[in-house]
Homo-oligomer: A and B are copies of this chain.
Amino acid sequence: MELDTSDLGGHIHRQYDEDLEAIRTRVLAMGGLVEQQIDNALKALRDEDVELGERVVGDDCKINELEVGIDEECTRIIALRQPAAGDLRMVVAIIKTITDLERIGDEAEKIGRMAARLAGTCYSRRQMNGVQHLGSRVSKMVHDALDAFARLDVNSALRVVREDEGVDAEYETIMRTLSTYMMEDPRQIAQAMDIIWCVRALERIGDHAKNICEYLIYFVKGKDVRHISVEDMEREANALA
């Protein structure tokens, strides 16, 4: 990314353009809804709450509508206002961020569907503890990613990126445990597969939260940090500080 970033610092501290600020507010509102969906999905899974699980599935369309609306608004702003380097990077980062938020919503929807299906079946409650632990960890990643986005905080964003490594390790451990569990009790395979889809969905939510943080670093620093190691990312972020 070789765009001029010299005006970025000053711009952030000046009165933000109302249109851009309104979009940022809408992204955060969309993020709040996505967080709510994750939490409801995990609650439905824990409490075996069929109704809540189905509500999560039904509410996914609200997130989709927000995505389409914000996307249109972003394109409109680029067309009408022709934003310069810093603002343009923000708009591009937002276009990418809402794609990931929408897909987090899709994963929450899957968990809600599995929760409704698993409720009342005789799956192992012990397996579920690991899922809930991973769930709260991933839910916090999404929260922190949105918080970093709200405060344009590169260091918080870097922490979320690093946290994804821990989440991936925990995911692998749960998967191994579930495979062993299936081997020991093949009658539970159908339920275990549903739990596996939940764990997989959580792991993907973590990936999307990481993506959002990478877009944020790109917006603030004007440097694309995707596809590089966390160490290199931290070095880049500090070099550009």
Contact = CB atoms under 8 A, between A and B. Distances in A.
Interface of A: 1-3, 61, 64-65, 67-68, 71-72, 74-76, 78-79, 82, 84-85, 88-89, 92, 95-96, 99, 175, 179, 182-183, 186-187, 189-190, 193, 200, 224, 226-227
Q: Taking chain A's interface residues, is the majority helix, strand, or loop, or is none over half, making it mixed?
A: helix
Contacts of A78: 78, 88, 92
A213 B175 CA distance: 34
A85 to B, nearest CB: 6
Contacts of A65: 227
Contacts of A2: 72, 76
Given A189-B179, A224-B72, A88 B92 contact: no
A122 B71 CA distance: 49
A193 to B, nearest CB: 6
Q: Report how many copies the assembly holds.
A: 2
Contacts of A79: 3, 84-85, 88
A76 B3 contact: yes
Contact of A95 (B1, B68, B96): B96
Contacts of A68: 224, 226-227
Contacts of A179: 189-190, 193
B186 A3 contact: no
Contact of A227 (B64, B200, B227): B64
A146 to B, nearest CB: 20
A79 B90 CA distance: 12
B3 A75 contact: yes
22 contacts: A1-B75, A2-B76, A3-B75, A64-B226, A67-B227, A68-B227, A71-B224, A72-B224, A78-B88, A78-B92, A92-B95, A95-B96, A175-B193, A179-B189, A179-B190, A179-B193, A182-B186, A183-B187, A183-B190, A186-B189, A189-B189, A200-B200
